[in-house]
Amino acid sequence: TQLLEQSPQFLSIQEGENLTVYCNSSSVFSSLQWYRQEPGEGPVLLVTVVTGGEVKKLKRLTFQFGDARKDSSLHITAAQPGDTGLYLCAGENSGTYKYIFGTGTRLKVLA
């Protein structure tokens, strides 16, 4: 069974601080995605990374896929209250387009 562990589970920070969320597994994934989910809604796709070592930027968010395609990180610079939400990584099972979700990181950014 493929497991994706995210750390930390919870994070509460002040506006303007930086943070990093980690997504780790012992399995190799053909691609990895990051999502943000608001309460009572479905997740919204932020990024897809495919190549080992790949780095993608989305405004203040930086995503990195590990060289071995087993792990990933999400770095947020100068966090804002609007960044508050549940962040989920999801790894693709061997090119099947089927994604297994990580355990989640609940972020709260205080004004």
What CA–CA distance (Å, rounded) separates 68 from 41?
A: 32
- Residue 66 neighbours by CB distance under 10 Å: 20
Structure tokens at 15: 């506006």
Judged by CB under 8 A, does residue 88 bind other proteins? yes
Closer of 44 and 78 to other proteins (Cβ): 44
Judged by CB under 8 A, does residue 15 bind other proteins? no
Number of H helices, E strands in the chain: 0, 11
Judged by CB under 8 A, does residue 104 bind other proteins? yes
Judged by CB under 8 A, does residue 25 bind other proteins? no
Binding stretches for other proteins (CB under 8 A): 1, 31, 33, 35, 40-45, 48, 50, 88, 92, 97-104, 106
